[in-house]
Amino acid sequence: MRLDTILRVCTKLFLPFIWVFALYVQLHGDFGPGGGFQAGVIAAAGVILYAIVFGKSAATRIVPKWLVEAMVPLGVLLYAGVGVYSMLMGGNYLDYDVLFHSPPTHYEAVHGQHWGVFLVEIGVLITVTGTMITIFYAFAGRGRREDRN
Amino acid sequence: MEILDQITRHYNYVITIFLMIAGVYIVVAKSNMIKTLIGLSIFQASVYLLYLSPGKIIGGTPPIIGEGYEVYSNPLPHVLILTAIVVGVATLAVGLALVVRIHEAFGSIEEDEVLRELEHE
Amino acid sequence: MIPESFVPHLPALQIVLPLLAALIAALVRNGTVGWLLALVVSWLMVPVSMAMLGAVLDGGTISYALGGWRPPLGIEYRVDAPAGYLLVLVSAMGALAMTYAPRSLASEIPVGKRGLYYSMYLTCLAGLLGMAITGDAFNVFVFMEISSLAMYAMIAMGKDRRALVAAFQYLIIGTIGATFYVIGIGFLFASTGTLNMVDMALRLQDLGDSRPAFAGLAFIVVGIGLKLAIFPLHLWLPNAYAYSPSVASAFLASTATKVAVYLLLRFIFSVFGVDQTFDDLPLTEFLLVLSAAAMVIASAVAIFQMNVKRMLAYSSVSQIGYITLGIALASQAGLTGGIAHLFNHAIIKACLFFAIGAVVYRCGVVKLDQLAGIGRKMPLTMGAFVIAGLGLIGVPGTAGFVSKWYLILGAAEQGLWLLVIVIVVSSLLAVIYVGRVIEVAWFREPGPALAKASEPPFEILAVTWALAAGTIFFGIFTQYSGGVAGDAAMVLLDGIGPSDATPLLTRDELFDPTVSSGHVETGGGETGGGETGH
């Protein structure tokens, strides 16, 4: 597929929209349907599309294997980190109310809830993107000579 | 006729049960490991339907308090199934990874062939 | 021992610490760092779980509102006596396994994968502890899958290529089991509208005889039955234990099925209650027959195994029969025996697997005919094997005797003399399969394959003997095994009453975040949640 001009041009045209759509779904998740899981899959789909059309080695130049493999634990670490931080602020584990103010008033609690969900969803985005691309890299090209070392 | 009425009114359960049995049947009957995993996925998908379809209330809105809205849908089944879907994807990925490794180790993904080869060891 | 400010957060720390360590181990991917993390965290888990058990025995149930959302709306971590014992058991087994692990594992797993193995182990530990601690029925499923997925990976890391097939078969059966469990929860959720176990129990009592709820229970029992390898559903277990790395075999044999048993206890006794499960449904007859079949048939199959690890795995299936037998009797004595056997079998089987793991580490053989004379070459290791083997048989003075004694008492109480005979027959079969190994190991001349065999390194020997000593200790000081199990049995038989429920919030309180997150009662942010007692 590396020589197919239409596919290559279309892919390049699509990619920015795919990633912007991923961000839209991610940020919209606070108010409506959407969130880290969906956005993560969409963002990963962009990378996977690129890898299918331009080859896996071209994709690993942009998004290297070590990066996606590190993203998997890093996202969960961010998620768990928010929980631990809220514990340090005196609340229960993952209690977003106390993220900024302890003890919180009603509006301060809402402020904390807002940021807590936001950060946690970012964590989910990072992990899901990393996981999806890791799965793709692990399966794609497995057994081919160029990838054996 | 009453039973027919029951079935048509609860068609979502009919679909759920069909998928459930089809999934388990594929897992039990097929020796090809990829097909087994497909059956497993269908089986899990039936559970998604089992949770989601009763969660839909006709005319229900998201559970946000507002003037003029009285009927709310419970959002919990959707959240649970989102989690279950993620678990299902993870299971499928691990299963496929194992199949790839089995193929590399045995040169086959037919379970009976693999087991036959193991008997000769 | 534990800083004051941590005390209310112990239930969360029990899960969060291994989870964080697993993530860091996955990030670093270095075998040594991973092992150090796993070792430190596993040993930290022991005082954490002990402190909670102590608090529970002193002052009633611990309830922790995750995320500040009070139960029954939010996910609740709930520690009562049975959960506390199980947490201590799993943590202690994890700590011992990690002390044992480094050299044994290094001989079985290539360098590049060791870091990931420890990451998987920590994930599995977090999942198992989570299943024990959570009070939310769906959260159980999530933790179940977290631990199971990590287990599949750990089993697949075994040296033999059969490990891959074993892991795949376990994945298929385990996933079907977990999915059955979710279907059951779906029925219960649809009939009661809640996922909190205490709340569910109370609403089920109001519901009375409900066919969807009973269907849910049936799905849950079958699903958990697959996970705990109850007799005809045990086919995944022998291969999974036989071909996984030694440390993984011992850890899984002593924890994974035990946590599944705990879940079964929770659903039968706490969520549904004795009246509903045993009087309205034929669960007693059902479990009795399967348990008796497991005890006799699996023991008989174990006699014919040439692979010692596989033999121990079949023996596990038969020992699980004893535990489910105790559940089926549903009396104080029977349940005490079942729960005591859960703990005793964990200790005994871990000791046996660790001893065989030491042999594998030194000689790389597990076939019975290759082990001739191993006892003369490795007398300390095989000495521990003999002690634990006696415990498995149920010789007086070992832990196995205590639990079998209670089981026989329970069976005799209800006039089930046939069952008493089955227990004795199964123990006699255990004499044969343990005796075979002892005969080969001690009474034959060492073969040429074992010429270089010698005692394993210190840490492997120490852990094996610690468990062998435990087998004797819990056999003599019965207040720690039988007595403690009796307490747990009492809690389970009492079931759940309205006094266990967290008071429901009124509508106004519900929309006032300062109330719903528990900051008002606990006076600011110093202690957070984790209210103790009622």
Residue-range domain boundaries for chain A: 5-147
Q: Please give the pLDDT value at position C247.
A: 93
Q: How far apart are the first and last CA of chain B?
A: 60
The yes-or-no verdict on residue A147 having pLDDT over 80 is no
Extract the tokens encoding C215: 């269907």
Least confident of A26-30, B63-67, C517-521: C517-521
**Residue C510: pLDDT band by 50, 70, 90 thresholds?**
low
Q: Which CATH class is domain B2-119?
A: mainly alpha
Name the neighbours of B, counting chains with at least 3 Cβ pairs within 8 A: A, C
Q: Which residues contact C76 (CB under 8 A, 6 or more apart)?
A: C63, C64, C65, C66, C134, C135, C136, C196, C198, C502
The chain-wide mean pLDDT, for chain A, equals 87
Contacting C with CB below 8 Å, chain B residues are 20, 24, 27, 33, 36-37, 40, 43-44, 47, 50-51, 54, 74, 76-77, 80, 83-84, 87, 90-91, 94-95, 98-99, 101-102, 105-106, 114-115, 118
- Mean pLDDT (whole number) for C422-432: 93
Angle A143-A147-A149 (CA atoms, 0-180°, nearest 5)? 100
Contact present, C110 and C467 (Cβ < 8 Å): no
Length of chain C in terms of residues written: 534
- H helix or E strand, kind and range, residue C392: helix C379-393
From residue C303, how far is each of C237, C295, C318, C324 by CA, in Å? 16, 13, 12, 22
- Mean pLDDT (whole number) for C38-43: 95
User: Which of B98, B108, B113, B115 is the mutation pick for testing C, counting most C CBs within 10 A?
Assistant: B98
C330: three-class secondary structure by DSSP? coil
Contact present, B60 and C129 (Cβ < 8 Å): no
Reported ipTM: 0.95
DSSP tag of C79: E
> Which member of B84, B99, B118 has the closest CB to residue C168?
B99
Least confident of B77-86, C374-383, C525-534: C525-534
Residue A36: closest C-alpha in chain B:
B82
Contact present, C310 and C372 (Cβ < 8 Å): no
Q: Please give the pLDDT value at position C136.
A: 93
Instruction: Give CA A85 to chain center in angstroms.
Output: 21
Task: Report residues of chain B scoring pLDDT below 70.
Answer: none
What is the dihedral angle through the alpha carbons of C430, C433, C435, C440, rounded to the nearest 10 degrees?
-170
Q: pLDDT tens digits for C57-105?
A: 887 788 888 888 887 888 999 998 899 999 999 999 999 999 999 999 8
The yes-or-no verdict on residue A149 having pLDDT over 80 is no
The yes-or-no verdict on residue A1 having pLDDT over 80 is no
- CA contacts within 13 A on the Cβ side of B7: 8
B81: three-class secondary structure by DSSP? helix
Least confident of C37-46, C307-316, C327-336, C474-483: C474-483
Query: Between these two residues, C81 and A2, which has the higher pLDDT value?
Result: C81
Extract the tokens encoding C195: 């996922």
In angstroms, the CA C69 to CA C513 distance is 9
Q: In terms of Cα–Cα distance, which of C347, C373, C342, C378 is closest to C482?
A: C342
Q: Please give the pLDDT value at position A61.
A: 92
Contact present, C46 and C88 (Cβ < 8 Å): yes
Q: Please give the pLDDT value at position A22.
A: 94
> pTM for the full model?
0.92
Contact present, C389 and C294 (Cβ < 8 Å): no
In angstroms, the CA C379 to CA A42 distance is 60
> Which member of C152, C178, C183 has the closest CB to residue B94?
C152
Q: Look-up: residue for tokens 């719903």? A: C516
Extract the tokens encoding C219: 């799905």
**Residue C276: pLDDT band by 50, 70, 90 thresholds?**
confident
The chain-wide mean pLDDT, for chain C, equals 87
Residue A127: closest C-alpha in chain B:
B86
- Given an 8 Å threshold on Cβ–Cβ distance, is C513 in contact with A72? no
Q: Which residues contact C436 (CB under 8 A, 6 or more apart)?
A: C303, C368
Residue A105: closest C-alpha in chain C:
C514
Q: pLDDT tens digits for C158-189?
A: 888 899 999 999 999 999 999 999 999 999 99
Residue C521: closest C-alpha in chain A:
A103
Q: In terms of Cα–Cα distance, which of C406, C417, C369, C422 is closest to C481?
A: C406
In angstroms, the CA C262 to CA C254 distance is 13
From residue C128, how far is each of A85, C75, C124, C170 by CA, in Å? 24, 17, 6, 17
Contact present, C205 and C118 (Cβ < 8 Å): no
Domain ranges for chain C, please list them. Answer: 14-516
- Mean pLDDT (whole number) for A42-67: 92
Q: Please give the pLDDT value at position C530.
A: 35
The yes-or-no verdict on residue C534 having pLDDT over 70 is no
Q: Please give the pLDDT value at position C261.
A: 93
The yes-or-no verdict on residue C520 having pLDDT over 80 is no
Amino acid at A59: A
Q: In terms of Cα–Cα distance, which of C263, C173, C277 is closest to C218?
A: C277
In angstroms, the CA C105 to CA B45 distance is 38
Least confident of A83-87, B117-121, C430-434: B117-121
Contact present, C290 and C230 (Cβ < 8 Å): yes
C306: three-class secondary structure by DSSP? coil
Range 9-28 of C in CB contact (< 8 A) with A: 9, 12, 16, 19-20, 22-24, 26-27
Contact present, C134 and C140 (Cβ < 8 Å): yes
Q: Look-up: residue for tokens 């964990």? A: C346
- Given an 8 Å threshold on Cβ–Cβ distance, is A142 in contact with B100? yes
Q: Please give the pLDDT value at position C505.
A: 55
From residue C428, how far is each of C299, C394, C511 by CA, in Å? 9, 10, 63
Q: pLDDT tens digits for C302-336?
A: 999 999 999 999 999 999 999 999 999 888 899 99
The yes-or-no verdict on residue A108 having pLDDT over 70 is yes
The yes-or-no verdict on residue C232 having pLDDT over 60 is yes
Q: In terms of Cα–Cα distance, which of C153, C113, C422, C134 is closest to C289?
A: C422
Contact present, B71 and B20 (Cβ < 8 Å): no
In angstroms, the CA C434 to CA C251 distance is 21
Query: Between these two residues, C480 and C145, which has the higher pLDDT value?
Result: C145
In angstroms, the CA C247 to CA C34 distance is 15
Query: Is A135 an 8 Å CB contact of chain B?
Result: yes
Beta strand segments in chain A, E: none
Q: Which residues contact C402 (CB under 8 A, 6 or more apart)?
A: C340, C344, C474, C475, C478, C481, C482
